[in-house]
A and B are shown apart, each in its own frame.
Chain A
Amino acid sequence: MLELQNLSKYFGGVRAVDSLSLKIEPGQIFGLIGPNGSGKSTTVNLITGLLGVTNGSIRLSGEEITRLPTHVRLSSGIARTFQNIRLFGQLTVWQNLWVAENSRAQRERTSFLARWLGGESGARARITKALEFSGLSHKANELAANLAFGEQRRLELARAMAAEPKLLLLDEPAAGMNAEEIGALDERIRQIRDSGITVLLIEHHMELIMAIADRIAVLNFGQKIAEGTPAEVQANPAVREAYLGTAETSTRGTA
């Protein structure tokens, strides 16, 4: 599904991502973990095209997308949520999803005018369904900025799903959630995977990621230090060291 080859991103002298190679198989929930500042979010930004790569290549279903602009990558099947929520705050819940319908139209190559002026075919039904899936039906006409935190996260997920992606990138979806909300999120991510969408999950909440990830890669200082099943990763001494911290790493922060 997604293949990163020797992917690197340097900010000046800082190697935020350093020769990272990953292969994510279709239908997997692939976990990406690592201490703060280990390059997880940078990796997501490289995959979505918000940052340009320094070196290496990104392939989606075998197709080279390394240099494609963001909106084109999206129409080729990538969607994401953000660690710090980025909703359209002054649009209603419904309108947030309505705007997101655009990506679908783009993929179907609807003409510019039809896309923006009309082209409502099925949109209403899809949005209604998305609202039900995320439990936000009763909030359809609220401004997104006025939603509770957990609801905003759900709306962001629904907005990403509106693009009907093949690959969904979730950047710390459980951040700030309580145990009950995390339980619901766990269920929702499994449903998404079961509907045939490949998921790349970045998360600090170990319980969640160990429970649902099929495969996990661990980053530290931009490099991959381990990869395998949850059990293999948990048993890996290098991972323990990265997380528990040695004299060298503890000053730079741990998870």
Chain B
Amino acid sequence: MLIVDLVQSIVDGLLFGATYALIGIGFTLVFGVMHKINMAYAAASVGGAYAALRLITLIGGPAWASLLIAAAVGGLFGLLIYWLCFRFIPLSNPLATLMSTVGMFLLAEEIIVHTTDGMPQNYPVVVRGILDLGEFMIRGDLVFVFACALLAMVILLYLLYRTKLGMATRAVSQQPIAAQLVGIRLSHVNALTFVVTGMLGGFAGALIGSAVGLLSPLLVVPLTIKGLIVTVIGGLGSIPGAIIAGLLVGMAENVFQYFRGVTERDIYVMLLLFVFLVFRPGGIFSSTVKRD
């Protein structure tokens, strides 16, 4: 039953794609506010999930608590990255922060490999069970992941569009010079953006861990690449774009996997990136917003 399996792949992929959307939002939000790429973002997100795993095995507690711990640690890592890679580095030099975050990416990956001896570790599963719908079935853990990611997005969008803090963040991204002149401290907004995106990332890392059932150091590079792909497809700086692109990449990945197997799928996901770069370089929602 090709068509049934295909639909099944698409649905599973869409649900899991919500985690890619979160990672994409993280990349895109930092870009929107600072016009910088934080290459260490996905590595720190996985790091947050690992730290949560460590803590939860150490002190015990329900599996869902690991998600919240990962978010908290992720926020801390975000602040750390801001301080180490951005705060004291000349932002006018486009390469400086790129290099500092690539360095941080390598460092984070090294720490993860070192502390885990490079071995995958089991991650506590929060929701089990499968919803049987006749020919189709829906994995409970994927629905849970999707719902959690959706909740995180709603909270983020509320913060950005309905609070004054979000308004200030958007003001900085649209017009940083005028933002300073209405008394907004750029360094505060920047740091806060890193904390919020770090929390999203840690949360996403833990969601991925709980859906896959394990965490592996091998997650770092593919997650970085997929986060960047989502960001490009969605359009740099566009949050709705990152959400749609995340779901799209999750779906495409699963469809490619269905047709070509798990070892080949990422090749096609990469090809998808080039298709977008050639035919729609501005992403799905080509942003007309400019700043000077």
A61 near B: Cβ within 8 Å?
Answer: no
* Contact between chains at B177 and A86 (CB < 8 Å): yes
Which of A73-81, A126-134, A176-184, A242-250 is found at the contact surface with chain B? A73-81
B2 near A: Cβ within 8 Å?
Answer: no
B164 CB contact (under 8 Å) in A48, A71, A117 = A117
B165 near A: Cβ within 8 Å?
Answer: yes
Chain B 66-92 interface 0/1 with A at a Cβ cutoff of 8 Å (1 = within): 000000000000000000000000000
* Contact between chains at A102 and B182 (CB < 8 Å): yes
Residue of B nearest to A92 (CB): B167
* Contact between chains at A103 and B175 (CB < 8 Å): no
* Contact between chains at B181 and A79 (CB < 8 Å): yes
* Contact between chains at B181 and A91 (CB < 8 Å): no
List chain A residues, Cβ under 8 A from B168. Answer: 99, 102, 116
A116-B171 CB under 8 A given contacts A71-B185, A74-B181:
no
* Contact between chains at B183 and A106 (CB < 8 Å): yes
B184 near A: Cβ within 8 Å?
Answer: yes
* Contact between chains at B178 and A88 (CB < 8 Å): yes
B289 near A: Cβ within 8 Å?
Answer: yes
B122 near A: Cβ within 8 Å?
Answer: no
List chain A residues, Cβ under 8 A from B179. Answer: 88, 99
List chain B residues, Cβ under 8 A from A102. Answer: 164, 168, 182-184
A88-B181 CB under 8 A given contacts A99-B164, A116-B164, A117-B164:
no
List chain A residues, Cβ under 8 A from B174. Answer: 88-91
* Contact between chains at B182 and A91 (CB < 8 Å): no
B186 to chain A, nearest CB (A): 8
Segment 139-198 of B: residues with Cβ below 8 Å from A? 163-165, 167-168, 170-171, 174-175, 177-185
* Contact between chains at B180 and A71 (CB < 8 Å): yes
List chain A residues, Cβ under 8 A from B183. Answer: 71, 74-75, 100, 102-103, 105-106, 163
Chain A interface SS verdict (over half): helix
Number of contacting residues on B, CB 8 A?
Answer: 20
A21 near B: Cβ within 8 Å?
Answer: no
Residue of B nearest to A97 (CB): B182
A50 near B: Cβ within 8 Å?
Answer: yes
A87 near B: Cβ within 8 Å?
Answer: yes
A50-B171 CB under 8 A given contacts A71-B183, A75-B183, A117-B164:
no
B241 to chain A, nearest CB (A): 15
CA distance A48 to B175 in the complex (A): 16
CA distance A100 to B167 in the complex (A): 10
* Contact between chains at A89 and B164 (CB < 8 Å): no
CA distance A95 to B180 in the complex (A): 16
Chain A 112-144 interface 0/1 with B at a Cβ cutoff of 8 Å (1 = within): 000111000000000000000000000000000
A9 near B: Cβ within 8 Å?
Answer: no
CA distance A103 to B183 in the complex (A): 5
CA distance A231 to B191 in the complex (A): 52
CA distance A88 to B167 in the complex (A): 10
* Residue of B163, B165, B180 contacting most chain A CB atoms (<10 Å): B180
List chain B residues, Cβ under 8 A from A105. Answer: 183
List chain A residues, Cβ under 8 A from B170. Answer: 88, 90-91
B185 to chain A, nearest CB (A): 5
* Contact between chains at A86 and B175 (CB < 8 Å): yes
* Contact between chains at A89 and B175 (CB < 8 Å): yes
* Contact between chains at B165 and A86 (CB < 8 Å): no
Residue of B nearest to A96 (CB): B171
A154 near B: Cβ within 8 Å?
Answer: no
A100 CB contact (under 8 Å) in B182, B289, B292 = B182
B256 to chain A, nearest CB (A): 36
A91-B170, A95-B167, A98-B164 known; 14 other A-B pairs, CB under 8 Å?
A70-B181, A71-B180, A71-B183, A74-B181, A82-B177, A86-B175, A86-B177, A88-B170, A91-B171, A100-B183, A102-B183, A102-B184, A159-B178, A160-B181
Please name 19 pairs of A and B residues whose Cβ atoms are closer than 8 Å in the assembled complex, sorted by A. Answer: A48-B181, A50-B180, A71-B185, A75-B183, A82-B177, A86-B178, A88-B178, A89-B289, A90-B170, A90-B289, A91-B171, A91-B174, A98-B164, A99-B164, A99-B168, A100-B182, A100-B183, A106-B183, A117-B165
Chain B interfacial positions (CB closer than 8 Å to A):
163-165, 167-168, 170-171, 174-175, 177-185, 289, 292
